[in-house]
A and B are shown apart, each in its own frame.
Chain A
Amino acid sequence: MEPPKIWRERREKYLALGILCQECKKKSFPITQYCPHCSSKNITELKLAQTGKILHFTRVSQTAEELMFYAPYIISLVELDDGIKVTGQITDIKLEELSEGTKVRMVFRVLSKNGEEGLIGYGFKFVPI
């Protein structure tokens, strides 16, 4: 990933941020300029719940070059305790040990590496609680 992109996205990727609309009071993810529910610009930053449960999960073995070092890995649709759904990897676990509904906790991990010399992309993943 290129430096401006890593820099621009660091808060939302590192901290897992969404928005809370002050008009319709709905939460959403990721950060947008307008509330995707009511198009209001009256929004505030929201820190997503750090725990949730697995809705769907599967294995990924073929992926982008900068993620291949970590493959095969598990990708999951997680419903956070605040009701927001996100896509993220479940790490430090074998596929067989997971099931729908497994409770997970957000952790900070390496997402991608640009070769031996490029920047390291960090972000959130999940581990079972």
Chain B
Amino acid sequence: MSKLGIVSYGTYIPKYRISIEEIAKVWDDDPNEIISQLQVSSKSVLGPDEDVATMSVEAARNTISRWKGNPQDIGAIYVGSESHPYAVKPSATIVAAAIDAEKELTAADLEFACKAGTAGMQMCFGLVKSEMIKFGLAIGSDDSQAKPRDPLEYTAGAGSAAFLIGKERVVAELEGTYSITTDTPDFWRREGAVFPSHGNRFTGQPAYFQHIVDASKGLMEKLGTKPSDYNHVTFHQPNTKFPLTVAKMLGFTTDQIDISLICKNIGNAYSASSMLGLAHILNNSNPGDRIFMTSYGSGAGSDAFSFLITDDIEALKSYPLTVEHYINNKEEINYGKYSRFKGILR
């Protein structure tokens, strides 16, 4: 039986950064207190000519170029995001056209706060496994919005990650996936509202922590694995403190989670957050490594995954446009320019 898993991956992080200090200055907050609380020093900001569709296309193109396969073989494209450029009209169709994957395929935009991207991965695994499609492309992409002065403003970043799911030249074999879903109103944005609202501390324990712990434990129980069986782990990263805390709660060490922690530099990339962590891990993994990932989406739910790295990973690691490349390719902007780019200044 052929393996099912990740065939290729690609990411995109915009060039612009705003530092926590710069935002704190505007609101007369103490930057040191915030930095130590969140363990984030800056966040990524989308350029004025970018949106979720353009970031998704860049991540998708990096996935295809790294893979060197034929985009016409892709049978499904899902773009998970809570900041699609259109309320009605899919981002996924734009991606399909821009990677030359039109037109024999199924596609949809997904929304489940920060886990819509991993939901797309699960859908692709299902479609590939059932042999309804040969390859599926799952993208998590967000240009997260935060009301000025809301604590979210310090971390709401932007980024995109794409995974090509298939059965040929698999680089990360799927060992299992498991989800938890409850109706938990920790974070929301009403139709037509510009900025999201949230339940402050309520977003922590009953929401983020409970769902990730339940999903992670559930998958390990199902697979008969334990934290020490894994080389690397990635969780959703609303800040750096939360994933570190939940890792500890589950029994993972700091060494296991360390590589995944991109939030320090780019903030919370929402739908792309845990997926960017996974892509970064893949690029730093070796054949035989075991990888664990659990996403979290407010509302609320978690998708947990277990992967086994194959020998084919080596061929993909030399592709130049890595998470590391994008993290280092940066330009700091001030709050004025940030407001302009974000469209807060009108």
The answer on direct contact between A and B (beta carbons under 8 Å) is: yes
A10 at interface (Cβ–Cβ under 8 A)?
A: yes
Q: Which of B51-59, B72-80, B205-213, B278-286 contacts A (4 or more CB under 8 A)?
A: B51-59
**Inter-chain contact A110/B97, CB cutoff 8 Å:** no
Scan residues 16-38 of chain A and give those whose CB is less than 8 A from a CB of chain B: none
User: In whole angstroms, what is the CA distance A70 to B341 when docked?
Assistant: 9
Residues of B within 8 A of A14 (CB): 57, 94, 97-98
Residues of B within 8 A of A111 (CB): 49
Distance (whole angstroms) from the CB of A105 to the closest CB of chain B: 9
- Chain B's closest residue to A69 (CB) is B48
Contact of A108 with B51 at beta-carbon distance under 8 Å, contacts A92-B15, A120-B85 already known? no
Scan residues 38-63 of chain B and give those whose CB is less than 8 A from a CB of chain A: 47-51, 53-54, 57-58, 61
Q: Count the A-B residue pairs with Cβ separation under 8 angstroms: how many?
A: 47
A107 at interface (Cβ–Cβ under 8 A)?
A: yes
User: In whole angstroms, what is the CA distance A14 to B304 when docked?
Assistant: 35
User: In whole angstroms, what is the CA distance A109 to B53 when docked?
Assistant: 9
- Chain A's closest residue to B57 (CB) is A108
B100 at interface (Cβ–Cβ under 8 A)?
A: yes
Contact of A110 with B61 at beta-carbon distance under 8 Å, contacts A92-B15, A120-B85 already known? no
User: In whole angstroms, what is the CA distance A70 to B340 when docked?
Assistant: 10
Contact of A122 with B94 at beta-carbon distance under 8 Å, contacts A92-B15, A107-B58, A109-B54 already known? yes
**Inter-chain contact A109/B97, CB cutoff 8 Å:** no
Which listed residue, B49, B53, B61, B100, touches A125 by the CB 8 Å rule? B49
A11 at interface (Cβ–Cβ under 8 A)?
A: yes
**Inter-chain contact A108/B58, CB cutoff 8 Å:** yes
Residues of A within 8 A of B53 (CB): 120, 122
With A10-B97, A14-B57, A122-B53 known, 7 other A-B pairs at CB within 8 A are A14-B97, A91-B47, A91-B49, A108-B54, A108-B58, A108-B61, A120-B86
A-B interface, 9 closest residue pairs, ranked by CB to CB distance from nearest: A108-B57, A14-B98, A109-B49, A110-B49, A92-B15, A10-B97, A108-B54, A14-B97, A70-B49
17 contacts between A and B (CB under 8 A): A11-B100, A14-B57, A14-B98, A15-B100, A70-B49, A89-B49, A91-B47, A92-B47, A108-B54, A108-B58, A108-B61, A109-B50, A111-B49, A120-B53, A122-B53, A122-B54, A125-B49
